[in-house]
C-alpha cells in the first residue's frame, strides 16, 4: 500500500500536468514528461551523464527523452569493429553517422566504443586471415588496426571526446591475466599497449580508456589495476579506465565498487562509468512477468546509494553512462537471459520509474526493503583419509558419505554428480561421479563445457565477494583446469576419466590458510556445468547454493566439517 501511495503521489500529478499544462518537448512530434528534472542537469556540476543508444531510438518519444535527459551519447553497437567495418574495403558508416548527427544537433558529447574487442559477434575474421586463409602477421594486423582507427577518428574526431580503445582485455584465469583473443594471438601480449600507442598518434587530444566488466570483483580489480599501472610505467598513454557496472539488486556490494574507485585513485587516471544498468533480478535464472513493488523500491534505493558514491568521487569519476535509457530496449532481455527485465531509469512508455527518483537522490523515496534470498544451510561431514589421485575409486573412499548436486539452478535440469570428500592435515580430497548422457566440450569458454566445480572458503567467513582464502576450481571431463578467486594449478592435483554414464573427477586441494583437524569448518560447495552438445551451458546443478552466484559470492556456500 505504501508503494501504491508513493507511485500515485508522483505519477498522478505528472500525468495530469502532462495532459493539461506541463511543458512538453514537441520537436520530435511526441510528448514526454518535462516537469521532471533533466538527469544531466542534476549532475551538471559533477560529470556528463550519458546513455548508449541505437539509431532507431533517435526518433519520436525515445529521441525526445534521450535529448532531454542526457548530454553524452555512446553508440551501443554502431562503432564496433565488424558492424562499422565488415569487410576489408567496406565501411558501414550510416548508423554511426546518425548517432553523431543526433549528438551534434542536441549539443551532446560522444564516447567512441570500441576499437578492439574480442566478442565473436564483433570479430571481423578478415582482419586476422586473408582471403586464402593465410594468417596475417603481427605487422599486417597492426596496419589494419591503424587504418580502422584512422577512418573512425577522421570521421568522428570532432564529436568523440573519449574512446574505449580496448574492451575487456582482462581474464583472471590466465597466468598473465590477459584474455586470449585473436588480437592477443595475432599481435602478441603487448597488443593493448600497441592499440593505445596508435590511438594517441591518431587522436592526440581525446581521452583513451581501457574498458572492462566486473571490475568490482577483487581478482579482476587487482588484475586491471596491475595492467594499467604497468602501462603507465611503460609510458603507454592510457588516460583512464572504464568501469562497466552491469549490476543486479544484490550484487555487487556497493563497497566493492568504492574499493575499485579508491584503488584507481592511486594512479593518475580518470574513471568513466561506461555501461551502467541494474537488473531487477537478484538471481541469474530468476524470472517474472511484471516488476514487483519491493524490487522497484530496492532498485531505487540502490541507485541512490550508487550515485552518492559517484558524486563523492566526482573528482576522479568524469563521466557516467547508462547502457540504454528505457526498459523498452535493453541487452538484459536478450541472450543469455531471455527474460523480461527493467534495469533503466525510464519504462518502455518513456515514463520515469522509481529508479529515476533514486538516481536524482530524492529524499522522498518509500522506505527501503530487504529482499530475502533463497538459502540452504547444508553441512557435509568429511572423514579423514588420503586417497591416490588417479581417477580410480580407492577403498578409502568407502568411508565418505555421498551427496548429490541435485539443486537445479537453470530452467533445464542439468547433469548431477554424486560427490564424496576426505581430508588430511595438508589436503582436501574430492571425488565426483557425474551422470551425464552427453559429454561435450564444444563451447569456447570453459564454464560452458561439461565440468565439475569445487568451491572452498578456508576461513568460512561467508563474504559477498571472493577473498584471499576463497577458491573456485573447475575441472573439465577431459581434465582441463580453470579457476576463480585464489584457485590455481599449483594448489591442486586432479585426474579424470570417462565412465559408462558420464565422467569421473578426482582432485586434491592443498590447504593454504589452515591445517586439517577434527572439528574444523570451512565454506564449501559443488557444481556441475552441463553442455547438452549445443556449444553452451544449458544446465547447472549445485549441492547447496540455489543461485548462480557462487563464482563471486561465498554467502550461499554450504559448510564442510572435518571429523576423524
Mapped onto helix, strand or coil, the DSSP state of residue 378 is: coil
Contacts of 433 (CB under 8 A, 6+ apart): 417, 418, 419, 499, 502, 504
Q: Determine contact, residues 323/246, Cβ cutoff 8 Å.
A: yes
Torsion of CA 80, 84, 86, 91, to 10 degrees: -160
* Alpha-helical runs (H) found in 410-557: none
Burial group, residue 123, by CB count within 10 angstroms (0-12, 13-18, 19+): middle
- Pairing relationship of beta strands 246-247 and 270-278 according to DSSP bridges: parallel
| Residues 456, 463: Cα–Cα separation, whole Å | 12
Question: Residue 304: what are its φ and ψ, rounded to 5°?
Answer: -60, -45
Catalytic residue among 62, 275, 453, 549: 275
Active site residue 168: yes
C-alpha 464/C-alpha 251 separation (Å) is 8
CA distances to 67, 172, 251, 493, 527 from 480, rounded to whole Å, are: 50, 16, 29, 12, 16
Chain centre to alpha carbon of residue 41:
29
Q: Identify the active-site residue in 33, 168, 270, 549.
A: 168
Phi, psi of 95, rounded to the nearest 5 degrees: -60, -45
Three-class DSSP labels, 275-342: EEEECCCCCCCCCCCCCCHHHHHHHHHHHHHHHHHHHHCCCCEEEEEECCCECCCCHHHCCCCCCCCC
Taking Cα atoms as reference points, which of 307, 217, 316 lies closest to residue 264? Answer: 316
The answer to whether residue 536 is catalytic is no
Ramachandran category for residue 537: left, alpha or beta (phi over 0 → left; psi -120 to 50 → alpha): beta
Residue labelled with grid coordinates 569421473: 504
Catalytic residue list: 168, 275
Amino acid at each position: 500500500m505504501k508503494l501504491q501511495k508513493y507511485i500515485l503521489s508522483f505519477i498522478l500529478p505528472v500525468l495530469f500536468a502532462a495532459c493539461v499544462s506541463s511543458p512538453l518537448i514537441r520537436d520530435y512530434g511526441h510528448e514526454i514528461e518535462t516537469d521532471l528534472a533533466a538527469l544531466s542537469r542534476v549532475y551538471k556540476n559533477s560529470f556528463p551523464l550519458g546513455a548508449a543508444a541505437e539509431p532507431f531510438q533517435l526518433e519520436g518519444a525515445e529521441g525526445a527523452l534521450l535529448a532531454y535527459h542526457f548530454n553524452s551519447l555512446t553508440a551501443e553497437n554502431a562503432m564496433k569493429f565488424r558492424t562499422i567495418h565488415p569487410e576489408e574495403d567496406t565501411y558501414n558508416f550510416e548508423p554511426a553517422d546518425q548517432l553523431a548527427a543526433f549528438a551534434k544537433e542536441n549539443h551532446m558529447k560522444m564516447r567512441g566504443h570500441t576499437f578492439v574487442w574480442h566478442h565473436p559477434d564483433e570479430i571481423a575474421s578478415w582482419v586476422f586471415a586473408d582471403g586464402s586463409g593465410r594468417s596475417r602477421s603481427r605487422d599486417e594486423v597492426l596496419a589494419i588496426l591503424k587504418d580502422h582507427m584512422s577512418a573512425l577518428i577522421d570521421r568522428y574526431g570532432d564529436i568523440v571526446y573519449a574512446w574505449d580503445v580496448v574492451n575487456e582485455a582482462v581474464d583472471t584465469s590466465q597466468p598473465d591475466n590477459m584474455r586470449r583473443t585473436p588480437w592477443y594471438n595475432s599481435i602478441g601480449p603487448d597488443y593493448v599497449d600497441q592499440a593505445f600507442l596508435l590511438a594517441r598518434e591518431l587522436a592526440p587530444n581525446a581521452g583513451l580508456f581501457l574498458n572492462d566488466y566486473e571490475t568490482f570483483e577483487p581478482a579482476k580489480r587487482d588484475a586491471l589495476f596491475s595492467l594499467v599501472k604497468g602501462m603507465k610505467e611503460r609510458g603507454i598513454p592510457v588516460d583512464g579506465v572504464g568501469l562497466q557496472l552491469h549490476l543486479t539488486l544484490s550484487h555487487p556490494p556497493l563497497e566493492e565498487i568504492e574499493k575499485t574507485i579508491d584503488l584507481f585513485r592511486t594512479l593518475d587516471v580518470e574513471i568513466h562509468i561506461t555501461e551502467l544498468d541494474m537488473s531487477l533480478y537478484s538471481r541469474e535464472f530468476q524470472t517474472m512477468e511484471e516488476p514487483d513493488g519491493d524490487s522497484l523500491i530496492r532498485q531505487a534505493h540502490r541507485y541512490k546509494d550508487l550515485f552518492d558514491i559517484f558524486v563523492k568521487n566526482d573528482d576522479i569519476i568524469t563521466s557516467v553512462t547508462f547502457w540504454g535509457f528505457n526498459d523498452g530496449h535493453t541487452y538484459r532481455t536478450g541472450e543469455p537471459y531471455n527474460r523480461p527485465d527493467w534495469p533503466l531509469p525510464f519504462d518502455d512508455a518513456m515514463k520515469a520509474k522509481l529508479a529515476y527518483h533514486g538516481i536524482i537522490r530524492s529524499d522522498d523515496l518509500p522506505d527501503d526493503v530487504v529482499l530475502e534470498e533463497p538459502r540452504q544451510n547444508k553441512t557435509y561431514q568429511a572423514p579423514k583419509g588420503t586417497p591416490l589421485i588417479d581417477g580410480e575409486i580407492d577403498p578409502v573412499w568407502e568411508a565418505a558419505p555421498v551427496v548429490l548436486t541435485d539443486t537445479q539452478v537453470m530452467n533445464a535440469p542439468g547433469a548431477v554428480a554424486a560427490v564424496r570428500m576426505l581430508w588430511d592435515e595438508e589436503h582436501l580430497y574430492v571425488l565426483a561421479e557425474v551422470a551425464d548422457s552427453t559429454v561435450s566440450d564444444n563451447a569456447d569458454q570453459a564454464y560452458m563445457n561439461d565440468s565439475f566445480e569445487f568451491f572452498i572458503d578456508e576461513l568460512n567467513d561467508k563474504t559477498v565477494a571472493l577473498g584471499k582464502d576463497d577458491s573456485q576450481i573447475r575441472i573439465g571431463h577431459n581434465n582441463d583446469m580453470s579457476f576463480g578467486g585464489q584457485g590455481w594449478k599449483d594448489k591442486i592435483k586432479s585426474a579424470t576419466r570417462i565412465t559408462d554414464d558420464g565422467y569421473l573427477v578426482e582432485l586434491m586441494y592443498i590447504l593454504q590458510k589452515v591445517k586439517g583437524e577434527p572439528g574444523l569448518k570451512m565454506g564449501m560447495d559443488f557444481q556441475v556445468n552441463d553442455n547438452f552438445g549445443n556449444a553452451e551451458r544449458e544446465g547447472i546443478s549445485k549441492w547447496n547454493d540455489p543461485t548462480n552466484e557462487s563464482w563471486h559470492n561465498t554467502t550461499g556456500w554450504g559448510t564442510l566439517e572435518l571429523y576423524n
